[in-house]
Structure formats: C-alpha cells, structure tokens
Amino acid sequence: MTDPAIETEQIVKVFGKRRAVDRVDMQVSVGEIYGLVGPSGAGKTTLIRMMCGLAIPTAGSVSLFGHSIPKEREAVEERIGYMPQERAVYRDLTVAENLLFFGQIYGMNRKTIAARTDELLALMQMPDLEKQRADLLSGGEKQRLSLACTLIHNPELLLLDEPTIGLDPALRSEFWDHFHALKQNGRTILLTTHYLEEAGRCDRVGMMRLGSLVAEGTPDELRGRVSPDGTSVSMEQVFLELTQASKSERSNA
C-alpha cells in the first residue's frame, strides 16, 4: 500500500494564547486535489506551513509520503513545491532569472531549466515575458510566475497557499485548468482558498474554521450532508451550515 501524500495526526499549533490549528487529522492521497477552505484566520496557512516544515507543530505530527516533517524533511524536499501566499518572486530579477534561480537550487542544470522555462511560460501563457523584470509584471502575471517557480523542478506534491488570491475570475479558471492538467500528470495538490466556490473543483475538501477541520469529504458528499434531498446548494451554503452545525455541537458538548 502506498503512503498517503500528506497525513496529519492531531496536529496543533499554538501562538501565545491562540490555537491557530487545533487537533487536525487529515489525509491526502497521491494524485488528489485537496482544497482547504475557510475564512481568513481559519488556520489554513499555518497548517500548510507545518506541512512544509516552516512551522513546528506544538503537538501532533505531520508526514509527507510517509516521512515525518520536519525531522525527515530532507527525504522529501525535492518532491514538494511550495507556493507561499505572498508572490514570492524576486522583484528585481527577470522572469527567466527567477526560474533559473529556483531551478538551480533544486540542482537542475541550465539546459534543463531553459527547456522547462519555455514549457512553463507557454503553459502560463506568458512566452514573451521571459526578459521582463518581475516588478514590471501585472498582478496576474506575477501570480503565474510564482506558480511557474513552484513547478520548475516538476514536484510530485504541490502545496499552494491561496494560489488564486487576487486573480480575476477568468484567470482563476485558467489556474484551475492548470491544476487539473497537473493532476492528470499524476501530481498531488493541496491548496488553500477562501473562495468557497473553488471548493467544488477539488476532489476532496476540508473546511476549516477557527483552527479546526469542521467537515471533510468530496464536494458532492458535503452538499449531500446539507441537502439530503439533492436540491442544488452552493459551497458557500454548505460551509455556513456545516460550520454552524459544528459550532452547535461544540456548545452542546
């Protein structure tokens, strides 16, 4: 049996008196698109940072491909690609120079990087921008460059923190097409978003609120919990109802 791409067990992160993540158990299988949805402050970014080894869990554990993080991070670091919420590109470098740097730190040679750069820029529909400085790109182009930098070393697992934030609906749709194309190529994607309608495009969804995972399942399963008779409901309604139900359960407990 293959290890899940991501597995967390009772993971907790406390900042001062605030529990940013509270006993989250989740599993993401290889080849799956898993969406962590929830409002700002729900704990999505902290959870993803713990998966990357950028934040140390206060309690519980996280593993990627069966390797405990952060202890065995070295074993998996070349297999993961992380896109932080900030655009995380060098403003004063050109598009090609950014891709060259992020390729080189993963041990790729210049020739391979050049070929991969052409491929990615074509995919991101920015082939003429190779020599453009990143600070002169538009917001959407910067976001696409950021995704290209994450993909440069062809990682198996993509951890994308709010990859579609600030994009117009057309560009967001394009990004989702990229994600599905990557899934077709066997990639696993965990992404966070606070656009609830995007949850419908994931294979499975985890809904977070105040650090807890309040509901998890495929979009249809989650809709089914709210509307057993099959009436069409939006993911926003699903989120509101399920988080409300979780709140009531907690107060009753």
Among 10, 18, 39, 56, interactor with other proteins by CB under 8 A:
56
Size of the site for other proteins (CB under 8 A): 27
12 touches other proteins by CB under 8 A: no
Among 32, 33, 87, 187, interactor with other proteins by CB under 8 A:
87
CB-count exposure of residue 97 (10 Å: 0-12, 13-18, 19+) = middle
Site for other proteins in 185-214 (CB under 8 A): none
11 and 21 Cβ atoms separated by less than 8 Å: yes
Q: Which is nearer to other proteins, 101 or 195 (CB)?
A: 101
- Can you state the percent helix, strand and coil of the chain, rounding each to 5? 40, 25, 30
- Find the part of the chain contacting other proteins (CB under 8 A) among 50-58, 164-172, 195-203, 235-243: 50-58
CA distance 234 to 200: 9
Instruction: Provide the H-helix boundaries in 12-109.
Output: 44-52, 73-76, 95-104
157 touches other proteins by CB under 8 A: no
Instruction: For residue 47, give the 3-state DSSP assignment.
Output: helix
Q: Which is nearer to other proteins, 121 or 152 (CB)?
A: 152
Q: Which is nearer to other proteins, 38 or 57 (CB)?
A: 57
Nearest distance from residue 84's CB to other proteins, in Å?
4
229 touches other proteins by CB under 8 A: no
Q: Quickly count: other Cβ atoms within 10 Å of residue 5's Cβ.
A: 28
CA distance 103 to 8: 29
54 touches other proteins by CB under 8 A: yes
Binding site for other proteins (CB under 8 A): 49, 52-56, 70, 74, 77-78, 80, 82-91, 102, 105-107, 149-150
